[in-house]
Amino acid sequence: MEFQNLGYLIVLLVLLPVAQATISKLTRDLLFELKYMLPAVIFTAAVLAMINTRLIELQIFVVNPVYFTGTNFFSYPLEEWLFLPVVSLLSFSAYIFAKKRLTSFEKPNLFLVISLVLLLVSGLITWFFRQKLYPFSIFMLLTIYLGYTIFRNRFKHHLTSFYLGFAIAVIPFFILKATLFTLPVIIADPNYMMGVSLVNMPVEEFGYFFLLLLMNATIYEYLRERRLF
């Protein structure tokens, strides 16, 4: 095994303590936050990992063995298993930063309208790209989950923090993903994509990240507000 095979893994292992340190600085009780974060991270990772595993099996996404250790679990690379919780914790850092430090900017009604527009856009993408497996699967799930979140109406007072956190977290996410697709660590089959890329990264990845943060944030707030354990 060459050092290059450890590249992706090393990046993820460096990002993990960075995320943990950032969260700990933003909250007085890290363990209190983590006990509600971790169930959200595990559930979200499980759902998205099932989609990712299927996409790799169908070779819609191909992992470049040059950048991987070759260790797989359930036909899914170790690095990709780690990617989901690491990115989830990084996005939590941005979300909690917005909750704790950007409290002067509260526009729940504005972001509710934005959410309704995004719901419509997500639904239209699902319909028009129903023959393209990756955008269809991601935006169908996003349409269902975003619609449930909006009309259940229990997350409205967190919408400002969510969108501000997304705006912050999407920047490092884009840099990381664009790097992975450019090297290329991951190769996407264009026949199954929408056909629009930004620095070699399919634009569907923004929907993927939006869904990831939305699932994490809503589950976290549900557990936190109800003190279920």
The model's pTM = 0.94
Give 39-90 as a DSSP string: HHHHHHHHHHHHHHHHHHHTTSEEE-GGGS---EETTEEHHHHHHHHHHHHH
Residues forming beta bridges with residue 202, ordered by sequence position: 197
pLDDT at 19: 78
pLDDT tens for the 229 residues of the chain, in order? 666 777 788 888 888 777 777 777 877 766 678 899 999 999 999 999 999 999 999 999 999 989 888 888 877 888 888 999 999 998 998 999 999 889 888 999 999 999 999 999 999 999 999 999 999 999 999 999 999 999 988 899 999 999 999 999 999 899 999 999 999 999 999 999 999 999 999 999 999 999 999 999 999 999 998 876 6
pLDDT for the residue numbered 70: 85
pLDDT at 208: 97
Report how far residue 173's alpha carbon sits from residue 191's, in angstroms, rounded to the nearest whole number: 24
Chain Cα centroid distance, residue 48: 9
**How far is residue 185 from each of residues 35, 55, 203, 222, measured CA to CA in Å?**
33, 15, 17, 36
Report the pLDDT value the prediction gives residue 117, as an integer from 0 to 100. Answer: 98
Strands 186-188 and 76-77, bridge-based pairing: unpaired
Which pLDDT does position 30 carry in this prediction?
66
Number of structural domains the chain divides into: 1
Cα–Cα distance, 171 to 78 (Å, whole number) = 24
| Domain membership of residue 180 as a residue range | 3-226
